[in-house]
Amino acid sequence: MSAAPAAAAAAPAGAAMEVAAAIDQGTQSTRVFLFDRAGGVVASHQVPLRQIYPKAGWCEHDPMLIWGTVEACIEGALASAREKLGQDVQVKALGITNQRETTVLWSRSTGEPLHNAIVWLDNRTSEVCARLQESLPGGKDHFRPVTGLPISTYFSAYKVQWLLENCDKVRAAVDSGDALFGTVDSWLIWQLTGGARGGVHVTDASNASRTNMLDLRTRQWHAPFVELFGLNLGVMPRVASNAEVLGHVKEGPLAGVPISGCLGDQQAALVGQRCGRGEAKNTYGTGCFMLLNTGSELVPSTHGLLTTFGYQLGPKAAPHYALEGSIAVAGLGISWLKDNLRLIDSADESEALAASVPDTGGVYFVPAFSGLLAPHWIEDARGVLLGMTGFTTRAHVVRAMLEAICFQTREVLDAMRADADMSHMAVLRVDGGAAKNDLLMQLQSDLLHVPVSRPLFQETTALGAALAAGLAVGFYPHDFVTTHPENHSTLFRPAVSLDNSEKRYAHWRKAVSRSLALAELADQ
pLDDT number for residue 349: 93
Do the Cβ atoms of 386 and 514 come closer than 8 Å? yes
The DSSP call for residue 433 is G
Do the Cβ atoms of 8 and 19 come closer than 8 Å? no
| pLDDT (tens digit per residue) in 76-116 | 999 999 998 888 899 999 999 999 999 999 999 999 999 99
Sequential pLDDT tens for the chain (524 residues): 344 444 444 555 556 889 999 999 999 899 999 999 999 999 999 999 999 999 988 999 999 999 999 999 999 999 999 998 888 899 999 999 999 999 999 999 999 999 999 999 898 999 999 999 999 999 999 999 999 998 989 899 999 999 999 999 999 999 999 999 999 999 999 999 999 999 999 999 999 999 999 999 999 999 999 999 999 999 999 999 999 999 999 999 999 999 999 999 999 999 999 988 888 999 898 888 899 999 998 998 889 898 999 999 999 999 999 999 988 888 889 999 999 999 999 988 999 999 999 999 999 999 998 888 888 888 888 989 999 999 999 999 999 999 999 999 999 999 998 898 877 778 899 988 889 999 999 999 999 999 999 988 878 999 999 999 999 999 999 989 888 876 678 999 999 999 999 999 999 999 999 998 888 765 55
pLDDT number for residue 28: 87
pLDDT number for residue 58: 93
Q: H or E element: which one contains 17? A: strand 17-25
pLDDT number for residue 6: 45
Beta-ladder partners of 352: none
Do the Cβ atoms of 192 and 260 come closer than 8 Å? no
The DSSP call for residue 109 is T
pLDDT number for residue 422: 76
Q: What is the pTM of this model?
A: 0.86
pLDDT number for residue 424: 74
pLDDT number for residue 7: 47
Asked whether the CA dihedral 201, 205, 209, 213 is positive or negative, the reply is positive
- Structural domains in the chain? 331-411+505-522 (3.30.420.40)
Q: Annotate 223-246 with b (16+ C-beta within 10 A) or e (fewer).
A: eebbebbbbeeebbbebbbbbbeb
pLDDT number for residue 103: 97
| pLDDT (tens digit per residue) in 139-154 | 999 999 999 998 989 8
pLDDT number for residue 8: 47
pLDDT number for residue 4: 45
Q: Is the peptide bond before 375 cis (omega within 30 degrees of 0)?
A: yes
Question: How many other C-beta atoms lie within 10 A of the C-beta of residue 292?
Answer: 29
